[in-house]
Structure 1
């Protein structure tokens, strides 16, 4: 039975998100009803649950359409999610140029995720010409807004002197902020700097935390760095190798 949203009913999005935990099907019907009545935040949430197949049949193509509808209302996160669909080919063709446009609109709305994603395209020259100065500006803005992944990348630009003055001390501070904010790549960046400083015990704690929270792609790249670091990292390299194998047994 479909959920009918009464005209006088107030849409409690926080309540609907909580309902997804224990009654996902019922929550999905309520979200669909609210989205159909033009509630932009519900349209955005509907797109997300369609991507995830949560409480509703997974359908990336329809999810993309709802993100597009929500974006027409100027929602920054909707622009960001539409950009992700376009970047990764979720629900349709990859179009990096259009992804960049939507990330830019999300960034212009003040959304840190939009800044981060636009920075990634600028840094790699995908969808628009590579521009390290503008990529740095995106990461810097998002970092100052508290975006943990951007803190790590901002620190990397500073550490390596990319489009800005090299400052290991400043980079270390941003790596630490990223790590303490929960980003596993930031944890790893901080750990490797601490290794260089000879602070092996503190480095080991951050390496362990990064290993336990990182995904397969991260574990693979981190393992290569640990193996290149020499004998002092052998124990951690073995632990990362085991974690990588467990994450991708095939």
Structure 2
């Protein structure tokens, strides 16, 4: 999860438009990309204390990873919480992870669900996956495969390969849905095309249990889904 959040943050930073954010924020991003973390910290700290939610998330991220400041889980949570309360979906996801793992806060399944749901309802794909997984496990929520399917599908439709694999798996075992090898193969194939190796294995396993006609139908559905994007 930590590496996932790093990748997400860097993507956000690289895509920030100078027209959308202040020149000061751009200075912080530029410093961060140059790995001048102390300068980035100074910029983001100033903006965070002025109430900038994205700067607050970034400051939490830097405390989490010890970039420009000593690593400090409690400070990371403090800034994630400030940004999450303002509706920042990445901060809400990060806070959910913290409550799941008990890092910087006491472990609390109910709070993890609260923040995963807040981010998931904004369309944050990883939060949707995490929420779906909690429904399968019955942690913080009643066990409910149908709800898990709903959230996996929401992330899968956004193109998330992990969610596509999980959705495929649910169709394969009939968890929360009627067992359907065609749908399972379709989603496994889409995830496999993005390099998900678990999906490759599942797709191959499914193919051994399907007729040529079923495989052809699944491939057709997968291609139609890709073409609709």
Structure 2 length-normalised TM: 0.75
The 5 A counterparts of 1:1-250 are 10-13=23-26, 16=29, 19-193=32-206
The structure number with the bigger radius of gyration is: 1
Q: What displacement does 1:150 show?
A: 0.8
Q: Greater CA deviation, 173-182 or 127-136?
A: 173-182
- Distance in 1, matches of 2:204 and 2:152, equals 21
Q: Greater CA deviation, 23-32 or 44-53?
A: 23-32
- Distance in 1, matches of 2:89 and 2:207, equals 37
Structure 1 length-normalised TM: 0.69
> Unpaired runs of 5+ in structure 1?
1-8, 198-250
- Distance in 1, matches of 2:36 and 2:198, equals 34
- Distance in 2, matches of 1:14 and 1:158, equals 47
Count of residue pairs brought into register by the alignment: 189
Q: What displacement does 1:192 show?
A: 4.1
- Distance in 1, matches of 2:57 and 2:23, equals 17
Structure 2 vs 1, CA of residues 166 and 70 (structure 1 numbering), >3 Å: closer, same or farther?
same
Structure 2 vs 1, CA of residues 192 and 50 (structure 1 numbering), >3 Å: closer, same or farther?
farther
C-alpha offsets along residues 175-216 of structure 1, whole Å, 9 cap, x if unaligned?
12222234343344335445767xxxxxxxxxxxxxxxxxxx
**Deviation above 6 Å: which 4+ runs of structure 1?**
none
Q: What displacement does 1:157 show?
A: 0.4
> Unpaired runs of 5+ in structure 2?
1-21, 211-229
SS of aligned partner of 2:139:
coil
